[in-house]
Amino acid sequence: MKTKILGAFAIVLIGIVALGSSLALAAADPIVKTHKQPYPDREHYIKDPPINSYSLPPDLLNGKWSAENISFKSTGKLVEYNLTIEQIKWNVVGDVFITQWAFNGQVPGPLLTATEGDMVRITVKNNTTIDHTIHPHGFWVPVNMDGVPNITQLSIQPGETFTYEFIAKPSGFMFYHCHVNAATHMAMGLYGGFIVYPGPAGPGTPKEVAADPNLPRIDRDYVMILSEIDTRIDDGESGGVELGHPRKIANMNYFTINGKSFPETPMIFAKEGETIRVRFLNFGYWSHAMHLHGHAFAQASAECDRCPRNWEYRDAMNLNAANRTDIIFKANNPGRWVFHDHRVPFATNDGAYPGGMLTVVEYENDPWLPLLPQLPLPGFKFMGDPKTANMSSVHQAIKKEILGE
């Protein structure tokens, strides 16, 4: 009997020790807040990051540029962000409101920044009734920080908190978005931009790989994220009208820059003589042909500053889904100039022009400004809307011809 009691006591003691050890391990892990995930051991990556974590072949461009020669220096700096995910009513333009899921109550989410080599820590709190994740798009992250549900992590359940940690690399214009049922969750507004500024290159990095070594001084920097919206969303928590289904892509009827349609899109301001950079991201499904009036610009991929970049000279560019590009132009032609999608139906609000993906380059020292009408111009939501009473006589004639009114 005594032996049995001692054996039972030993089993209980071992169980208590094991439980205590597992609790201690959980408490020591700063990333997992409310649940475990695959790939829990990330300590080697955090303490001793790989020097050359780049997957291109070393003989790219016939040996003129070698991916094996890229190395990064840690800045020793920690950059922390806190993001909440919640359901909101987002104002697209005028009196048009739609249900969206949003990072920190805005669409797109806040613009995040870091310097190449910084340690980035993003703590995400899910305040919705749907599970979510964050995918750091374009970053070279360890696999357990990639944010793909049930493949690289368990999704963040309602009420849960999860923390992502990774080293900011490479430099360039990246973004972040939810990867749970991505077609729906991305269309519901869960995306945002992330700029990684060039940092100190590690030893052995050749000069031709340095980030934008010949880039001129930039006087003003703008970020413009393109996307599309189906305003028939009627219930964000259920996905509304099959939002994200392939057959519904053609139903997008509002087209946005930084979450807004013209005339409420963000403007580009300039003074004569300045050099302006605009970082574009096409987050939507459709391709968009952005055209700048009165100027030409230099364009190059923004997806990796340390990769070879060929600057091209043009006044219009085509941007496919998930593509990022930098454009740089000299403010040398004072006036007020439109910058718009030349797939013109995307420059409308529910079919009415002007609207959608259209913005304005406004010279602050424009000598013609006193003679021009004040902005914003009245936007037309529907051709039959009472607000179109101030449309031009030409437009009124067209409407009469088409509708017989």
Kindly give the confidence (pLDDT) of every residue in the chain, 405 residues in length, as a single tens digit, with 9 standing for 90 and above: 545 444 544 444 444 444 444 433 333 444 444 444 555 444 444 444 443 444 444 444 444 455 455 677 888 899 999 999 999 999 999 889 998 999 999 999 999 999 999 999 999 999 999 999 999 999 989 888 999 998 999 999 999 999 999 999 889 999 999 999 998 899 999 999 999 998 887 766 666 666 666 788 899 999 999 999 988 775 444 445 567 778 778 889 999 999 999 989 999 999 999 999 999 999 999 999 999 999 999 999 999 887 777 889 999 999 999 999 999 999 999 988 999 999 999 999 999 888 999 999 999 877 766 666 555 544 433 334 434 444 445 555 555 655 565
Our measurement of the distance from residue 325's CA atom to the centroid of its chain's CA atoms, rounded to an integer in Å, reads 12
Tell me the CA distances in angstroms from 198 to 74, 106, 171, 278, 329, one per residue in order: 12, 27, 5, 17, 21
In terms of Cα–Cα distance, which of 137, 139, 146, 144 is closest to 118? 139
Helical ranges in 240-305 per DSSP H: none
What's residue 82's pLDDT? 97
What's residue 249's pLDDT? 82
Q: Which helix (H) or strand (E) holds 269?
A: strand 268-270
What's residue 16's pLDDT? 43
Cβ-based neighbours of 30, under 8 Å, separated by 6 or more = 163, 165
How far apart (Å, rounded) are the C-alpha atoms in residues 248 and 244?
7
Enumerate domains of the chain plus CATH numbers. Answer: 43-50+64-203 (2.60.40.420), 220-403 (2.60.40.420)
In one letter, which amino acid is 40? P
What's residue 74's pLDDT? 84
How far apart (Å, rounded) are the C-alpha atoms in residues 266 and 252?
21
How far apart (Å, rounded) are the C-alpha atoms in residues 224 and 234?
27
Neighbours of 220 (CB within 10 A): 14
Q: What's the DSSP call for residue 243? A: T
Burial class (CB in 10 A: 0-12, 13-18, 19+), 151: exposed
In terms of Cα–Cα distance, which of 324, 323, 373, 376 is closest to 354? 376
How far apart (Å, rounded) are the C-alpha atoms in residues 124 and 106?
15
In terms of Cα–Cα distance, which of 354, 344, 343, 309 is closest to 328? 309
How far apart (Å, rounded) are the C-alpha atoms in residues 165 and 132?
17
What's residue 72's pLDDT? 75
Query: What strands lie across the sheet with 358-363, from one edge to the other?
Result: 268-270, 358-363, 336-341, 288-292, 316-319
How far apart (Å, rounded) are the C-alpha atoms in residues 170 and 206?
15
In terms of Cα–Cα distance, which of 227, 208, 216, 199 is closest to 117? 199
What is the residue whose two structure tokens read 């449309």?
A: 391
The pair of structure tokens assigned to 222 is: 């703008």
How far apart (Å, rounded) are the C-alpha atoms in residues 240 and 106?
20
How far apart (Å, rounded) are the C-alpha atoms in residues 109 and 195?
13
Rg (the chain; Cα; Å): 26
